[in-house]
Amino acid sequence: GSSFAHRGELRHAKRIVVKLGSAVVTRGDECGLALGRLASIVEQVAVLQNQGREMMIVTSGAVAFGKQRLRHEILLSQSVRQALHSGNNQLKDVSVPVLEARACAAAGQSGLMALYEAMFTQYSTCTAQVLVTNLDFHDDEKRQNLNSTLQELLRMNIVPIINTNDAVVPPPEPDSDLQGVNIISIKDNDSLAARLAVEMKADLLITLSDVEGLYNNPPGTDDAKLIDTFYPGDQQSITYGTKSRVGIGGMEAKVKAALWALQGGTSVVIANGTNPKVTGHVITDIVEGKKVGTFFSEIKPAGAYNQKSEVFSSTFSSVTLWKLLRDIICRLAELLTERKEEILAANKMDMEMAVSVLPPAMLSRLSLTPAKLNGLSIGLRQIAMAAQDSIGRVLRRTMVANNLQLEQITVPIGVLLVIFEARPDCLPQVSALAIASGNAVLLKGGKEAANTNRVLHQLAQEALSVHGVREAVQMVSTREDVADLCRLDKMVDLIIPRGSSQLVRDIQRATKGIPVLGHSEGICHVYVDADASIDKVIKIVRDSKCDYPAACNAMETLLIHRSILKTPLFDQIIDMLRSEQVK
């Protein structure tokens, strides 16, 4: 299979591997297990399992748990022996020998498993232990047996808990793994989790450790930034730091394993499983598509995400380009009327879902009618005619010196991100304006208009595809995508949020170096002067308030010169507003 392209798709993950690193499972003193953390992780895995997903856990912790047990046993036996030997209870020179890791693993494995079993029982979830070594993946027969065992456990709704069989595995070898899709040594649980996820065709691998995710520089250094989404081609931009306080993986091993899993078709998120503020929901947040840790994606967002103003090829002369843009917009105008039934059917679905949640004014904005579509089509043709003056127009010429002339010429901005509310007529209008000015545009409409916007976006791309520039208008589906785009200052050139002043402020805060074309509160006043023409006043006041009262630029305040009070004109205005049922 292929991995998910962006975080929003993770909620569709059916089969999920959760890898718990040593730093997550063990306490800060490296002895004993972090019971609180484990309990909350178990709860989240059980919740997802009960949603019908197939959950698998790759766990560390057997060595640490065994070390604690053996250390306790040795201290106890030594102190008893010494007490008997000396005839008194004074303990002298009680030294703990260096404990061998394989012995610790053997002593700790059963206790670790008993703990998982007890915790999962609280959620009526059954678990099974699976111990593996490198041979279990490299020997075909063993690998197939492992696969069929795990498939059977998942079919029976059991959570397999997998660990390397540390009682028998040889010590870690130098880094010779990850040379090809079929060669990955299981020298640490990161590699094991990746190998297992690919073998079992898992949709998602969540790797939990003691860091927030992948940073471009070692965490803690001044210029270290958490990488939200990591693409395989970005490896050169990473500087790795030291390994974690426990475990043998380290971030470099995690990234290698993650990229290996990604190559095999499994999506990966590396996140922090030790932060007490988020531990209780880190796994469920990741599956819901929230911005947690580093998401590994094989597919860089296509089209306009990384196309600049070359969207409309600079090889066109300005005359050819203008005609091309005009043709695209006129074709979109035609499609709005030709495919009227399809648009209205989609809008009807949106209206039915929104009728119980949106106030009347918002419903009115969401609604499309044949008359609105007709008006839209006419408006688009007006934009098409104006496109002639939009690109390559010389605004000013100045002779700076002999043979040196300075010109100010209109050019496209590049890639625009336009955010607008649940008003589907915005989509063709904004698309046409962007096309007319030679810009690529990313559109984020209100979720209440999702069905209508999808159809309108398809029509815009259909109009563009005639000239091979289909990608110049694209939809952004989630708020998470908007947050991602706000950071891409090398790809997005201008953000235009159309909505509340709160939205504008939120976007301004979220951006990293991208200009935001904001606005403050609207002031929708109409002023009637003492010398105003009576005929015009009635028409203008009626049109500005009554033609489309749900629009955000409908009149809010009518200011009248005091000399008009107690005149027939004043009475006419009031009578007209009353008859139009203005309150």
Rounded to the nearest 10 degrees, the angle between the axes of helix 450-465 and helix 340-354 is 160
Q: Do the domain assignments include residue 513?
A: no
CA–centroid distance for 169 within its chain: 39
- Pinpoint the alpha helices (H) of 122-205: 135-138, 140-155, 189-199
Rounded Cα gap, residues 351 and 371, in angstroms: 17
What is the mean predicted confidence (pLDDT) over 274-287?
89
User: Residue 316: what pLDDT?
Assistant: 42
Please say whether the dihedral angle defined by the alpha carbons of residues 50, 52, 53 and 57, taken in this order, is positive or negative.
positive
My answer on whether 238 and 336 are in the same domain is no
Q: Span 508-528, mean pLDDT?
A: 84
Residue among 326, 273, 327, 266 at smallest CA distance from 295: 266
Nearest to 448 by CA among 359, 376, 358: 358
**Rounded to whole angstroms, how far apart are CA atoms 260 and 119?**
32
Which residue among 417, 444, 478 closes a domain? 478
pLDDT of residue 312: 46
The answer to whether residues 238 and 314 belong to one domain is no
Residues 137 and 279 in one domain: yes
Structure tokens of 63?
Answer: 């060595």
What integer is the mean pLDDT of 312-317? 42
Smallest CA-to-CA distance from 439 within 474, 467, 407, 463 is with 474
Q: 417 falls in which pLDDT band (50, 70, 90)?
A: very high
Q: What is the pLDDT of residue 34?
A: 86
Alpha helix segments (H runs only) across 87-185: 101-121, 135-138, 140-155
- Of 453, 478, 503, the position where a domain reaches its end is 478
Number of domains in the chain: 3
Average pLDDT over residues 226-244: 69
State mean pLDDT over 345-359: 88
Q: What is the spatial distance between Cα 439 and Cα 464, in angstroms, rounded to a whole number?
A: 13
Strand order in the sheet with 473-475: 473-475, 440-444, 415-419, 494-497
Q: What is the pLDDT of residue 155?
A: 93
| Pair (315, 400) in one structural domain | yes
Tokens of 276: 């007490």
> According to the model, what pLDDT value does residue 197 have?
93
Domain boundary residue among 478, 505, 533? Answer: 478
Going by pLDDT thresholds of 50, 70 and 90, the confidence category of residue 31 is: low
Q: pLDDT confidence of 95, banded at 50, 70, 90? A: low
Is 81 a domain residue? Answer: no
Whether 335 and 459 map to the same domain: the answer is yes
Q: If pLDDT is split at 50, 70 and 90, which confidence band does 319 have?
A: low
How does residue 29 score in pLDDT terms, banded at 50, 70 and 90?
Answer: low
In a domain, 341, yes or no: yes
pLDDT at 491 over 90: no
376 and 395 housed in the same domain: yes
pLDDT over 60 (residue 181): no
pLDDT at residue number 324: 79
Res 179: pLDDT: 38
**299 vs 184: which has the higher pLDDT:** 299
Please report whether residue 412 resides in a domain: yes
CATH number for the domain including 545? 3.40.309.10
CATH of the domain at 32: 3.40.1160.10
- According to the model, what pLDDT value does residue 551 have? 75
Mean pLDDT of 70-78: 80
Question: Does one domain contain both 285 and 378?
Answer: no
Q: Enter the tokens of residue 266.
A: 């499994």
* Residue 57 in tokens: 């856990």
pTM of the model: 0.55
Q: Which residue has the higher pLDDT, 381 or 73?
A: 381
Give the C-alpha separation, 523 to 318, whole Å: 38
116-120, 156-160, 223-227, 423-427: lowest mean pLDDT where? 223-227
Q: What is d(CA 5, CA 10) in angstroms, rounded to the nearest whole number?
A: 9
In a domain, 322, yes or no: yes
- What is the percent of the chain with per-residue pLDDT over 70, rounded to a whole number? 85
More confident residue, 90 or 558: 558
Within this chain, do residues 212 and 284 fall inside the same structural domain, yes or no? yes
* Lowest model confidence (mean pLDDT) among 77-86, 219-228, 265-274, 287-296: 77-86
Average pLDDT of the segment spanning 494-508: 85
Q: Is residue 83 in a domain?
A: no
Q: What percent of the chain has pLDDT over 90?
A: 32
Residue 455 lies in a domain: yes
Give me the pLDDT at residue 272, please.
92
Q: Are residues 277 and 326 in the same domain?
A: no
CATH of the domain at 398: 3.40.605.10
Residue 438 pLDDT: 85
Shared domain for 135 and 161, answered yes or no, is yes
What per-residue confidence (pLDDT) applies to 464? 87
Q: How far apart are CA 150 and CA 47, in angstroms?
A: 20
**Same domain membership, residue 260 and residue 118:** yes
Given this model, what pLDDT does residue 487 score? Answer: 80
Question: In the prediction, which pLDDT does 437 show?
Answer: 87
Sign for the CA dihedral angle at 100, 101, 104, 110 comes to negative
User: pLDDT: is 90 or 98 the higher one?
Assistant: 98
Kindly state whether residues 381 and 402 are assigned to the same domain.
yes
What mean pLDDT do residues 7-14 have?
87
Q: Is residue 41 part of a domain?
A: yes
The overall average pLDDT reported for the chain is 82
Q: Is the pLDDT of residue 90 over 70?
A: no
- Domain span holding position 567: 525-579
Q: What is the pLDDT of residue 358?
A: 84
Is residue 1 predicted with pLDDT exceeding 70? no
Residue 352, H or E segment: helix 340-354
Q: Residue 445: is its pLDDT beyond 70? A: yes
- Whether 400 has a pLDDT exceeding 60, the answer reads yes
Examine the pLDDT at 162 and tell me if it is beyond 90: yes
Query: How high is the pLDDT of residue 30?
Result: 57
Mean pLDDT, range 371-383, rounded to an integer = 91
